[in-house]
């Protein structure tokens, strides 16, 4: 057996130019020499691609550039404990574990610890580990010791790890330590503050607790970094004493936007205006929520806040249903839902609500920030209501409440999801995603997708959302609507930040028992590989899967996209991958794979992309070279494919190309066999 892969060369006796419009002679229905393939099964020929299949996975990291680090440094205020953390990190072990309460700026502190110790052309790599246990069972660890590079600078964010996963991830940190020492690398791990007492003894010497920096000093540095000079801000020291770093940054951005609208305004005056406005709003909403008497008025407050901008009929129907779900007895007398009583009831809330004229009659707040503030008050002050409110929202979207359209449902999902994201009530949000995604109506599935998108876009809720996607791909009874949503989420959302996870989920889905599910998943894999910048990475990920699937590989390594790799190091593993796809497919089922190549060649000719057609021909010749079984299969498939539209000149030209390719391949194979004997 030979492991050589030869490139078929042009036939001197039968030269062929794809650009030549001369009608081609129809191929003859004969293939000589029935000695069979060079070999069959999983013999030596497959060994030459194991190197590519077993290569270390490309770790999932996000580069933090020098520009971004420099920007953070200009407004950074070292928190208490920062200098001690820097001393621990300077030790040969190259590891420090940061602990601290939420809102203390742990992530920024971690980046700044590394920024002070790197060369000008170095980037800090941000590592978000795969925390999904079931995915770990079938995937290698996303980031391993072998992935640590010389003088690497790494941040590993474990701040959202739950208690059950914390022990396993401590073992992960210890496993990385030898590589950190050997490569003289530095790693800052951000630990979940709540689990600090459960840190293993061997890691205690690396832990440093940091406390929030002085908010007032951070405010000054942030404003200066934005080019916003402030004269005296001492009066606002108490205003930011308990603010989170994120909340403080939002205020700075609001000041910047206000200053751009009114250039030349005093920064301290703009800050005062924004703080006073926010404080007045919070106080007003708090007063209304606290003084609203009776369950009926409070239910109206919640419904108006969630459904603002929608019809008043919808608001009052939702209010009534909320009262029913909360099992609260109504007031004496009938509760009027007619429009005539709407404005009076809304006016009693005292939040500057108005109703648009007929025919829409939609509910509007004068201050668009008020509805969110109302929901926040109920959500935070009455946490025992959260499950019931989730039941209510699930029903509102599930039934459509009579007048909700697709856009309205998606809007409700986004608004309610914002509360779940803010307090990390991911389970409640995912319950809604699960309920709506299995619905037979597109509008409900659209709401589910909107909410899922919100969860995947937030670092605090993304892990659980990714795990839900993974569990669905293993569901043998996955509803059709949910299949489409999983594929869309992997292609449009997950792939941007976690390409490897998107490929894994679609690969599992592509092995589903239902043909329609497999087809949708492979179509999604193909979409992932359509972008030239990530085509090769997607192909490599499919090759690295623990269970190679020829159909999945064919979906991502589409023949039309392979000529771009001619002359590159990647071509060898692409050719090997296609050889494996053909050889691991039953000979009676290879037709669809061969037809991909025939169609790609004919389409290139039809679109006058002569060089692409030649590239497809060249790669196909490399794949089938010396294998008589593949050459026979290719030729026979071509005959059937041509017969469907034998009057198509481009198909006819492709057919002649294939006939010449088969002849050259057979002659080359015979010559090698004779030389070997």
pLDDT value at 1 more than 60: no
Is 25's pLDDT higher than 70? Answer: no
Which is nearest to 256 in space by CA: 279, 222, 214? 222
Q: Is 427 left (phi over 0), alpha (psi -120 to 50) or beta?
A: alpha
Q: Is the dihedral of CA 179, 180, 185, 188 positive or negative?
A: positive
Mean pLDDT lowest among 32-36, 63-67, 69-73, 99-103: 32-36
Q: Is residue 179 scored above 80 in pLDDT?
A: yes
Answer for the pair 482, 472: CB distance below 8 angstroms, yes or no. Answer: yes
Written as one string, the DSSP assignment of 162-185 is -HHHHHHHHHHHHHHHHHHHHHT-
Tens-digit pLDDT profile for residues 561-600: 888 888 888 898 899 999 999 999 998 899 999 999 999 9
What pLDDT was estimated at residue 191?
80
Q: Tell me the pLDDT band of 197, cut-offs 50, 70 and 90.
A: low
d(CA 186, CA 112): 12
563 against 200, higher pLDDT: 563
pLDDT of residue 381: 75
Q: Which residues pair with 153 in a beta bridge?
A: 186
- Rounded Cα gap, residues 490 and 487, in angstroms: 5
Tokens of 138: 């079938």
Sign of the dihedral defined by the CA atoms of residues 451, 453, 454, 459, in that order = positive
* pLDDT above 90: residue 394: yes
Classify strands 124-127 and 153-157 as parallel, antiparallel or unpaired: parallel
pTM of the model: 0.63
User: DSSP assignment of 99-150, as one string?
Assistant: E--TTS-HHHHHHHHHHTTS-TT--EEEE-----HHHHTTS--SS-GGGPPT
* Residue with the larger pLDDT of the pair 451 and 228: 451
Across the range 431-457, mean pLDDT stands at 89
The answer for 99, left when phi > 0, alpha when psi is -120 to 50, beta otherwise, is beta
Which whole-number Å values give the CA distances from 570 to 9, 418, 549, 576, in the listed order?
20, 44, 20, 10
Rounded CA-CA distance 356/364 in Å is 8
pLDDT tens-digit profile of 40-60?
Answer: 333 333 233 232 233 344 455
Tell me if 617 sits within 8 A of 601, measured CB to CB.
Answer: yes
| 479 or 117, higher pLDDT | 479
pLDDT of residue 26: 45
CA distance 226 to 250: 13
Locate 280 and state its tokens.
């007045």
Q: Rounded to whole angstroms, how far apart are CA atoms 583 and 359?
A: 67
166-170, 358-362, 669-673: the lowest-pLDDT one: 669-673
555-587: b (≥16 Cβ within 10 Å) or e: bbbbbbbbbebeeeebbbbbbbbbbbbbbebee
Bigger pLDDT: 402 or 201?
201
Share of the chain above pLDDT 70, in %: 72
Report the run of H or E that residue 208 belongs to, with start and end.
strand 207-209
Of 94-108, 165-179, 245-259, 475-489, the one with minimum mean pLDDT is 245-259
Which residue has better confidence, 536 or 35?
536
Q: What is the pLDDT of residues 252-288, one digit of tens each?
A: 777 777 778 777 777 777 777 766 666 555 555 555 5
């Amino acid at each position: 057996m030979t492991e050589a892969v030869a490139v078929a060369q042009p036939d001197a006796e039968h030269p062929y130019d794809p650009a030549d419009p001369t009608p081609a002679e129809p191929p003859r229905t004969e293939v000589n020499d029935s000695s069979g393939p060079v070999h069959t099964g999983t013999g030596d020929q497959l060994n030459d691609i194991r190197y590519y299949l077993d290569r270390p996975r490309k770790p999932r990291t996000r580069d933090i550039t020098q520009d971004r680090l420099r920007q953070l440094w200009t407004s950074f205020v070292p928190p208490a404990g920062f200098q001690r953390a820097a001393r621990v990190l300077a030790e040969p072990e190259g590891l420090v574990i940061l602990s601290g309460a939420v809102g203390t700026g742990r992530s920024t502190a971690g980046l700044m610890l590394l920024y002070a110790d790197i060369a000008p052309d170095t980037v800090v790599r941000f590592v978000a580990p795969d925390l999904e246990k079931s995915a770990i069972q079938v995937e290698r660890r996303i980031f391993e010791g072998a992935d640590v590079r010389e003088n690497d600078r790494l941040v590993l964010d474990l701040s959202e790890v739950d208690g059950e996963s914390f022990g396993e991830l401590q073992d992960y940190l210890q496993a990385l330590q030898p590589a950190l020492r050997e490569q003289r690398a530095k790693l800052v791990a951000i630990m979940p503050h709540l689990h600090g007492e459960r840190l293993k003894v061997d890691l205690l010497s690396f832990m440093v607790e940091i406390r929030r920096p002085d908010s007032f000093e951070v405010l000054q540095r942030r404003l200066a970094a934005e080019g916003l000079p402030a004269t005296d801000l001492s009066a606002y020291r108490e205003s930011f004493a308990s603010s989170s770093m994120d909340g403080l940054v939002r205020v700075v951005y609001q000041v910047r936007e206000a200053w751009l609208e009114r250039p030349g305004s005093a920064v301290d005056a703009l800050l005062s205006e924004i703080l006073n406005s926010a404080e007045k709003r919070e106080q007003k909403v708090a007063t209304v929520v606290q003084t609203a008497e009776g369950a009926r008025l409070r239910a109206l407050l919640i419904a108006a806040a969630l459904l603002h901008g929608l019809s008043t009929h919808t608001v009052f129907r939702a209010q009534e249903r909320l009262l029913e779900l909360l099992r609260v007895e109504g007031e004496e007398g009938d509760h009027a839902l007619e429009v005539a009583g709407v404005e009076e009831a809304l006016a009693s809330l005292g939040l500057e609500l108005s109703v648009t004229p007929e025919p829409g009659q939609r509910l509007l707040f004068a201050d668009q920030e008020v509805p969110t503030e109302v929901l926040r008050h109920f959500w935070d002050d009455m946490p025992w209501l959260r499950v019931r409110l989730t039941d209510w929202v699930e029903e509102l979207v599930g039934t459509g409440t009579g007048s909700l359209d697709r856009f309205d449902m998606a809007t409700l999902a986004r608004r309610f999801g914002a509360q779940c994201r803010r307090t990390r009530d991911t389970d409640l949000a995912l319950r809604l995603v699960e309920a709506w995604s299995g619905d037979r109506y597109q509008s409900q599935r659209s709401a589910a997708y909107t909410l899922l998108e919100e969860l995947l876009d937030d670092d605090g809720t993304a892990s659980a959302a990714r795990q839900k996607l993974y569990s669905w791909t293993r569901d043998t009874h996955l509803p059709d609507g949910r299949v489409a949503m999983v594929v869309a989420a992997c292609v449009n959302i997950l792939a941007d930040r976690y390409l490897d996870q998107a490929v894994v989920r679609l690969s599992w889905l592509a092995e589903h028992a239902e043909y329609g599910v497999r087809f949708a998943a492979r179509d999604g894999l193909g979409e992932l590989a359509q972008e030239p910048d990530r085509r090769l990475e997607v192909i490599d990920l499919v090759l690295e899967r623990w269970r190679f699937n020829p159909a999945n590989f064919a979906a991502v390594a589409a023949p039309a996209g392979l000529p771009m790799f001619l002359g590159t190091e990647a071509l060898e593993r692409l050719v090997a991958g296609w050889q494996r796809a053909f050889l691991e497919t039953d000979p009676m089922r290879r037709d669809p794979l061969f037809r991909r190549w025939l169609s790609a060649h004919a389409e290139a000719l039809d679109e006058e992309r002569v060089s692409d057609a030649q590239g497809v021909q060249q790669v196909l010749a490399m794949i089938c070279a010396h294998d008589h079984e593949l050459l026979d299969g290719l030729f026979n498939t071509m005959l059937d494919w041509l017969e469907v539209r034998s009057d198509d000149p481009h198909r006819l030209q492709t057919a002649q190309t294939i006939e010449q390719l088969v002849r050259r391949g057979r002659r080359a194979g015979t010559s090698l066999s004779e030389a070997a004997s």
